[in-house]
Chain A
Protein backbone atom coordinates (compact mmCIF):
# COMPACT_ATOMS: atom_id res chain seq x y z
CA UNK A 1 0.00 0.00 0.00
CA UNK A 2 1.18 3.48 -0.76
CA UNK A 3 0.93 6.62 1.26
CA UNK A 4 -2.57 7.66 2.29
CA UNK A 5 -3.53 11.19 3.23
CA UNK A 6 -6.88 11.75 4.89
CA UNK A 7 -8.23 15.13 5.78
CA UNK A 8 -9.31 15.77 9.31
CA UNK A 9 -12.61 17.57 9.18
CA UNK A 10 -12.25 19.59 12.39
CA UNK A 11 -9.42 22.06 12.12
CA UNK A 12 -8.38 25.44 13.30
CA UNK A 13 -8.00 28.28 10.83
CA UNK A 14 -4.22 28.00 10.95
CA UNK A 15 -4.35 24.39 9.88
CA UNK A 16 -6.70 25.23 7.03
CA UNK A 17 -4.14 27.73 5.76
CA UNK A 18 -1.48 25.03 5.89
CA UNK A 19 -3.72 22.73 3.89
CA UNK A 20 -4.26 25.34 1.23
CA UNK A 21 -0.51 25.45 0.88
CA UNK A 22 -0.41 21.68 0.52
CA UNK A 23 -3.23 21.87 -2.08
CA UNK A 24 -5.47 19.38 -0.32
CA UNK A 25 -9.18 19.19 -1.00
CA UNK A 26 -11.43 18.94 2.08
CA UNK A 27 -13.16 15.59 2.41
CA UNK A 28 -11.09 13.94 -0.32
CA UNK A 29 -8.79 11.01 0.30
CA UNK A 30 -5.73 10.85 -1.94
CA UNK A 31 -3.41 7.94 -2.35
CA UNK A 32 -0.43 6.94 -4.44
CA UNK A 33 -1.42 3.28 -4.40
CA UNK A 34 -3.03 1.26 -7.20
CA UNK A 35 -4.63 -1.10 -4.72
CA UNK A 36 -8.19 0.10 -5.31
CA UNK A 37 -8.07 -0.11 -9.06
CA UNK A 38 -6.21 -3.41 -8.87
CA UNK A 39 -9.01 -4.74 -6.67
CA UNK A 40 -11.71 -3.46 -9.02
CA UNK A 41 -10.02 -5.16 -11.94
CA UNK A 42 -10.71 -8.51 -10.30
CA UNK A 43 -14.41 -7.85 -9.82
CA UNK A 44 -17.37 -7.69 -12.12
CA UNK A 45 -17.39 -3.93 -11.74
CA UNK A 46 -14.52 -3.78 -14.24
CA UNK A 47 -16.72 -5.45 -16.83
CA UNK A 48 -19.21 -2.65 -16.43
CA UNK A 49 -16.47 0.00 -16.59
CA UNK A 50 -15.03 -1.55 -19.71
CA UNK A 51 -18.49 -1.72 -21.29
CA UNK A 52 -18.68 2.02 -20.82
CA UNK A 53 -15.17 2.60 -22.09
CA UNK A 54 -15.53 0.51 -25.21
CA UNK A 55 -18.68 2.31 -26.21
CA UNK A 56 -17.13 5.74 -26.02
CA UNK A 57 -13.97 5.60 -28.11
CA UNK A 58 -13.52 9.20 -29.11
CA UNK A 59 -10.60 9.47 -31.46
CA UNK A 60 -8.32 12.40 -32.04
CA UNK A 61 -8.41 13.87 -35.54
CA UNK A 62 -4.71 14.06 -36.10
CA UNK A 63 -4.30 13.17 -39.77
CA UNK A 64 -0.70 12.60 -40.77
CA UNK A 65 -0.84 11.56 -44.41
CA UNK A 66 -3.15 10.11 -47.02
CA UNK A 67 -4.55 7.73 -44.38
CA UNK A 68 -5.70 10.85 -42.62
CA UNK A 69 -8.12 11.51 -45.48
CA UNK A 70 -9.69 8.09 -44.93
CA UNK A 71 -9.77 8.82 -41.21
CA UNK A 72 -11.67 12.04 -41.78
CA UNK A 73 -14.02 10.25 -44.17
CA UNK A 74 -14.67 7.68 -41.46
CA UNK A 75 -15.61 10.42 -39.06
CA UNK A 76 -18.10 11.93 -41.49
CA UNK A 77 -21.80 11.21 -41.59
CA UNK A 78 -21.81 8.46 -44.21
CA UNK A 79 -20.30 5.76 -41.99
CA UNK A 80 -22.21 6.92 -38.91
CA UNK A 81 -19.59 5.89 -36.37
CA UNK A 82 -21.73 7.39 -33.63
CA UNK A 83 -23.61 4.11 -33.40
CA UNK A 84 -20.43 2.57 -31.93
CA UNK A 85 -19.70 5.59 -29.78
CA UNK A 86 -16.81 6.61 -32.04
CA UNK A 87 -16.70 10.36 -32.42
CA UNK A 88 -13.89 12.52 -33.79
CA UNK A 89 -12.49 15.05 -31.36
CA UNK A 90 -10.10 17.86 -32.11
CA UNK A 91 -8.33 18.08 -28.78
CA UNK A 92 -6.10 15.35 -27.35
CA UNK A 93 -7.53 16.12 -23.92
CA UNK A 94 -10.99 15.03 -25.04
CA UNK A 95 -9.85 11.95 -26.90
CA UNK A 96 -9.52 8.30 -25.92
CA UNK A 97 -7.94 6.92 -29.08
CA UNK A 98 -4.99 8.20 -31.03
CA UNK A 99 -4.72 6.97 -34.60
CA UNK A 100 -1.21 7.03 -36.03
CA UNK A 101 -2.20 7.53 -39.63
CA UNK A 102 1.04 8.02 -41.51
CA UNK A 103 4.77 7.54 -41.48
CA UNK A 104 6.45 8.97 -38.40
CA UNK A 105 9.53 11.01 -39.13
CA UNK A 106 12.30 11.68 -36.66
CA UNK A 107 11.18 15.28 -36.49
CA UNK A 108 7.52 14.47 -35.90
CA UNK A 109 8.06 11.81 -33.24
CA UNK A 110 8.53 14.28 -30.34
CA UNK A 111 5.29 16.05 -31.28
CA UNK A 112 3.46 12.74 -31.45
CA UNK A 113 4.76 11.76 -28.02
CA UNK A 114 3.62 15.14 -26.75
CA UNK A 115 0.10 14.56 -28.06
CA UNK A 116 0.04 11.09 -26.55
CA UNK A 117 1.07 12.39 -23.15
CA UNK A 118 -1.61 15.08 -23.26
CA UNK A 119 -4.38 12.50 -23.60
CA UNK A 120 -6.15 11.49 -20.43
CA UNK A 121 -5.93 7.85 -19.43
CA UNK A 122 -7.36 5.33 -20.25
CA UNK A 123 -6.20 5.77 -23.82
CA UNK A 124 -5.54 3.54 -26.78
CA UNK A 125 -3.55 3.69 -30.00
CA UNK A 126 -4.41 2.33 -33.42
CA UNK A 127 -1.71 2.05 -36.07
CA UNK A 128 -3.44 2.79 -39.36
CA UNK A 129 -1.85 1.98 -42.68
CA UNK A 130 1.40 0.42 -43.80
CA UNK A 131 3.36 3.61 -43.17
CA UNK A 132 2.72 3.71 -39.46
CA UNK A 133 3.16 -0.05 -39.04
CA UNK A 134 6.49 -0.44 -40.77
CA UNK A 135 7.35 2.71 -42.68
CA UNK A 136 5.49 1.71 -45.83
CA UNK A 137 7.13 2.86 -49.05
CA UNK A 138 9.38 5.12 -47.00
CA UNK A 139 10.75 2.30 -44.85
CA UNK A 140 14.40 2.90 -45.66
CA UNK A 141 14.36 6.67 -45.66
CA UNK A 142 16.87 8.49 -43.50
CA UNK A 143 14.11 10.27 -41.63
CA UNK A 144 11.61 7.46 -41.02
CA UNK A 145 11.09 5.94 -37.60
CA UNK A 146 10.53 2.22 -38.05
CA UNK A 147 8.73 -0.20 -35.71
CA UNK A 148 6.47 2.30 -34.04
CA UNK A 149 5.13 -0.41 -31.73
CA UNK A 150 8.36 -0.28 -29.75
CA UNK A 151 7.58 3.35 -28.89
CA UNK A 152 3.81 3.32 -28.37
CA UNK A 153 1.58 0.58 -26.89
CA UNK A 154 -0.39 -0.18 -30.03
CA UNK A 155 -3.47 -2.32 -29.65
CA UNK A 156 -4.66 -2.80 -33.21
CA UNK A 157 -2.74 -2.69 -36.49
CA UNK A 158 -4.84 -1.88 -39.54
CA UNK A 159 -2.92 -2.75 -42.72
CA UNK A 160 -3.72 -1.13 -46.04
CA UNK A 161 -2.44 1.64 -48.21
CA UNK A 162 -4.60 3.37 -47.18
CA UNK A 163 -7.17 1.19 -45.39
CA UNK A 164 -10.74 1.84 -46.38
CA UNK A 165 -13.02 3.48 -43.82
CA UNK A 166 -14.66 0.10 -43.33
CA UNK A 167 -11.25 -1.32 -42.36
CA UNK A 168 -10.70 1.47 -39.85
CA UNK A 169 -14.14 0.80 -38.44
CA UNK A 170 -13.28 -2.89 -38.20
CA UNK A 171 -10.13 -1.90 -36.33
CA UNK A 172 -12.21 0.03 -33.85
CA UNK A 173 -14.50 -2.96 -33.37
CA UNK A 174 -11.51 -5.21 -32.74
CA UNK A 175 -10.32 -2.68 -30.17
CA UNK A 176 -13.75 -2.79 -28.53
CA UNK A 177 -13.51 -6.58 -28.36
CA UNK A 178 -10.07 -6.32 -26.77
CA UNK A 179 -11.34 -3.87 -24.19
CA UNK A 180 -14.32 -6.07 -23.41
CA UNK A 181 -11.97 -9.05 -23.01
CA UNK A 182 -9.65 -6.96 -20.77
CA UNK A 183 -6.71 -7.67 -23.09
CA UNK A 184 -6.06 -4.10 -24.23
CA UNK A 185 -2.81 -2.34 -23.48
CA UNK A 186 -4.30 1.11 -23.01
CA UNK A 187 -5.90 0.61 -19.62
CA UNK A 188 -2.54 0.06 -18.00
CA UNK A 189 -1.43 3.50 -19.05
Chain B
Protein backbone atom coordinates (compact mmCIF):
# COMPACT_ATOMS: atom_id res chain seq x y z
CA UNK B 1 0.00 0.00 0.00
CA UNK B 2 1.61 3.28 -1.05
CA UNK B 3 1.22 6.80 0.26
CA UNK B 4 -1.28 8.03 -2.31
CA UNK B 5 -3.62 5.09 -1.82
CA UNK B 6 -3.69 5.71 1.90
CA UNK B 7 -4.42 9.42 1.59
CA UNK B 8 -7.15 8.81 -0.99
CA UNK B 9 -8.71 6.12 1.14
CA UNK B 10 -9.02 8.18 4.33
CA UNK B 11 -10.06 11.28 2.38
CA UNK B 12 -12.91 9.39 0.77
CA UNK B 13 -13.95 7.62 3.94
CA UNK B 14 -13.90 10.71 6.16
CA UNK B 15 -14.41 13.53 3.67
CA UNK B 16 -15.79 15.86 6.37
CA UNK B 17 -13.13 15.45 9.01
CA UNK B 18 -9.88 14.90 7.09
CA UNK B 19 -8.27 18.05 5.70
CA UNK B 20 -4.91 19.45 4.61
CA UNK B 21 -3.56 16.14 3.45
CA UNK B 22 0.06 16.16 2.38
CA UNK B 23 2.26 13.54 0.77
CA UNK B 24 5.74 14.50 1.91
CA UNK B 25 7.47 11.50 0.37
CA UNK B 26 6.90 7.85 -0.43
CA UNK B 27 6.99 6.97 3.24
CA UNK B 28 5.70 10.07 5.04
CA UNK B 29 2.17 11.44 4.78
CA UNK B 30 0.32 13.82 7.06
CA UNK B 31 -3.26 14.92 7.54
CA UNK B 32 -5.36 17.05 9.85
CA UNK B 33 -8.37 15.48 11.50
CA UNK B 34 -11.21 17.20 13.30
CA UNK B 35 -10.90 16.33 16.96
CA UNK B 36 -14.29 14.58 17.57
CA UNK B 37 -13.58 11.98 14.85
CA UNK B 38 -10.08 10.97 15.88
CA UNK B 39 -11.10 7.61 17.35
CA UNK B 40 -13.11 6.68 14.26
CA UNK B 41 -10.23 7.58 11.96
CA UNK B 42 -7.74 5.62 14.05
CA UNK B 43 -10.00 2.59 14.11
CA UNK B 44 -10.35 2.75 10.32
CA UNK B 45 -6.57 3.10 9.93
CA UNK B 46 -5.94 0.11 12.12
CA UNK B 47 -8.60 -2.22 10.78
CA UNK B 48 -8.70 -1.34 7.08
CA UNK B 49 -5.35 0.21 6.16
CA UNK B 50 -2.93 -1.94 8.15
CA UNK B 51 -1.63 0.77 10.48
CA UNK B 52 -1.11 -1.62 13.33
CA UNK B 53 0.77 0.47 15.85
CA UNK B 54 1.04 3.97 17.30
CA UNK B 55 4.63 5.20 17.39
CA UNK B 56 4.15 8.40 19.30
CA UNK B 57 1.55 10.78 20.57
CA UNK B 58 2.51 14.30 21.48
CA UNK B 59 1.18 17.83 21.91
CA UNK B 60 2.46 21.08 20.43
CA UNK B 61 1.54 24.40 22.02
CA UNK B 62 0.92 27.08 19.37
CA UNK B 63 0.40 29.98 21.72
CA UNK B 64 0.15 32.65 18.99
CA UNK B 65 -2.67 30.74 17.30
CA UNK B 66 -4.18 29.99 20.73
CA UNK B 67 -4.32 26.32 19.84
CA UNK B 68 -2.92 22.96 20.80
CA UNK B 69 -2.08 20.37 18.19
CA UNK B 70 -2.24 16.76 19.26
CA UNK B 71 0.10 14.84 16.95
CA UNK B 72 -0.23 11.10 16.36
CA UNK B 73 2.49 9.18 14.56
CA UNK B 74 0.90 6.01 13.28
CA UNK B 75 2.91 3.39 11.44
CA UNK B 76 2.72 -0.13 10.15
CA UNK B 77 4.86 -3.24 10.12
CA UNK B 78 3.41 -4.27 6.76
CA UNK B 79 4.02 -1.20 4.61
CA UNK B 80 6.62 1.57 4.99
CA UNK B 81 4.28 4.57 5.27
CA UNK B 82 4.20 6.62 8.49
CA UNK B 83 1.12 8.78 8.91
CA UNK B 84 1.28 11.99 10.95
CA UNK B 85 -2.22 12.73 12.12
CA UNK B 86 -2.89 16.10 13.75
CA UNK B 87 -5.89 17.32 15.67
CA UNK B 88 -6.39 20.97 16.63
CA UNK B 89 -7.78 21.82 20.06
CA UNK B 90 -8.71 25.18 21.58
CA UNK B 91 -6.18 26.28 24.15
CA UNK B 92 -8.62 27.26 26.88
CA UNK B 93 -10.50 23.94 26.95
CA UNK B 94 -8.41 21.15 25.39
CA UNK B 95 -10.55 18.01 25.46
CA UNK B 96 -10.18 15.10 23.05
CA UNK B 97 -11.27 11.48 22.99
CA UNK B 98 -8.73 8.92 24.15
CA UNK B 99 -7.56 6.42 21.55
CA UNK B 100 -6.55 3.81 24.11
CA UNK B 101 -9.39 1.59 22.87
CA UNK B 102 -7.72 1.43 19.46
CA UNK B 103 -4.01 1.67 20.27
CA UNK B 104 -3.40 0.42 23.82
CA UNK B 105 0.05 2.01 24.12
CA UNK B 106 -1.47 5.49 23.90
CA UNK B 107 -2.23 5.08 27.60
CA UNK B 108 1.03 6.46 28.97
CA UNK B 109 1.46 8.98 26.13
CA UNK B 110 -1.87 10.48 27.01
CA UNK B 111 -1.13 10.52 30.71
CA UNK B 112 2.11 12.38 30.01
CA UNK B 113 0.40 14.84 27.69
CA UNK B 114 -2.19 15.37 30.38
CA UNK B 115 0.30 16.17 33.12
CA UNK B 116 2.56 18.36 30.98
CA UNK B 117 0.02 20.24 28.85
CA UNK B 118 -3.33 19.77 30.53
CA UNK B 119 -4.96 18.12 27.51
CA UNK B 120 -7.68 16.02 29.08
CA UNK B 121 -8.66 12.80 27.38
CA UNK B 122 -12.20 11.54 27.73
CA UNK B 123 -12.73 7.79 28.16
CA UNK B 124 -9.14 7.31 29.28
CA UNK B 125 -8.94 4.32 31.68
CA UNK B 126 -6.58 5.93 34.22
CA UNK B 127 -5.90 9.61 33.64
CA UNK B 128 -3.47 10.33 36.49
CA UNK B 129 0.03 11.82 36.65
CA UNK B 130 2.72 9.60 35.18
CA UNK B 131 6.09 11.21 36.00
CA UNK B 132 5.41 14.52 37.71
CA UNK B 133 4.90 14.73 41.45
CA UNK B 134 1.24 14.85 42.42
CA UNK B 135 1.39 18.40 43.74
CA UNK B 136 2.58 19.77 40.39
CA UNK B 137 -0.57 18.62 38.62
CA UNK B 138 -2.39 21.66 37.34
CA UNK B 139 0.73 23.70 36.62
CA UNK B 140 1.10 22.28 33.07
CA UNK B 141 4.83 22.95 32.90
CA UNK B 142 5.39 22.48 29.15
CA UNK B 143 2.85 25.11 28.13
CA UNK B 144 4.50 28.17 26.62
CA UNK B 145 3.00 30.52 29.19
CA UNK B 146 4.23 28.50 32.18
CA UNK B 147 5.58 30.84 34.85
CA UNK B 148 6.75 28.48 37.56
CA UNK B 149 10.42 28.23 36.63
CA UNK B 150 12.94 28.79 39.42
CA UNK B 151 14.86 32.04 39.50
CA UNK B 152 17.18 32.50 36.58
CA UNK B 153 20.40 32.51 38.57
CA UNK B 154 21.09 30.03 41.30
CA UNK B 155 22.45 31.59 44.45
CA UNK B 156 25.64 29.59 44.40
CA UNK B 157 26.56 30.73 40.91
CA UNK B 158 26.89 34.38 41.95
Contacts and interface: CB of A to CB of B under 8 A. Distances in A.
A147 B151 CA distance: 11
A147 B149 contact: no
A140 interface: yes
Contacts, number: 41
B154 A147 contact: yes
A142 B156 contact: no
Given A135-B150, A142-B141, A147 B133 contact: no
B126 interface: no
Contacts of B146: 142
Given A133-B156, A147-B156, A149-B156, A140 B150 contact: yes
A146 B155 contact: yes
A137 to B, nearest CB: 12
B63 interface: no
Interface string B121-158: 00000000001110010010100001011111011110
A145 B149 CA distance: 10
Interface residues of A, number: 16
Interface in A126-143: 133-135, 139-143
Contacts of B141: 142-143
Interface string A103-119: 00011000000000000
Contacts of B139: 142
Interface centre among B131, B141, B146, B155, by most A CB within 10 Å?
A: B155
Contact of B132 (A107, A135, A140, A145): A107
A62 interface: no
A147 B156 CA distance: 7
Contacts of A74: none
B148 A147 contact: no
Contacts of A142: 136, 139, 141, 146, 148-149
A141, A142, A144 interface centre (most CB from chain B within 10 Å): A142
Nearest to A108: B133
Interface string A135-165: 1000111111111010000000100000000
Given A140-B149, A142-B148, A142-B149, A147 B155 contact: yes
Contacts of A139: 150, 154, 157
B152 A140 contact: yes
A145 B151 CA distance: 11
B80 to A, nearest CB: 37
Interface string B88-112: 0000000000000000000000000
22 contacts: A107-B132, A133-B154, A134-B154, A134-B156, A134-B157, A135-B150, A135-B154, A139-B154, A139-B157, A140-B149, A142-B136, A142-B139, A142-B141, A142-B146, A142-B148, A142-B149, A143-B136, A144-B150, A146-B150, A146-B151, A146-B154, A157-B156
